[in-house]
Amino acid sequence: MPTAILSKAERSHALTILLELHHNIFNEPKGLPLQRPHNHSIPLKDCAQPINMRPYKYLGLQKNIVKKMIS
């Protein structure tokens, strides 16, 4: 059923039921993940230098919004 038809209380109740049904998925982790058989990595070249690239520039309005979000 679309959420636009449900009241706020009904959506809240439906969400609570969903979380209870799948509690094992939505629980907070209690430790590190299990060990995997493969440990992936990105091999770097010897003596590789970081790329010389200017940082992405935001427009003034976007920059102010990002500053508000960060602080």
3-28 pLDDT, tens digit per residue, is 568 888 999 999 999 989 998 888 88
Q: Is the predicted pLDDT of residue 30 greater than 60, yes or no? A: yes
DSSP3 helix / strand / coil % (the chain, rounded to 5): 40, 0, 60
Report residue 69 as tokens.
């979000």
Report residue 36 as tokens.
């995997």
Structural domain spans, the chain: 1-28
Q: 14 Cβ partners below 8 Å, 6+ apart?
A: 6
pTM for this entry: 0.36
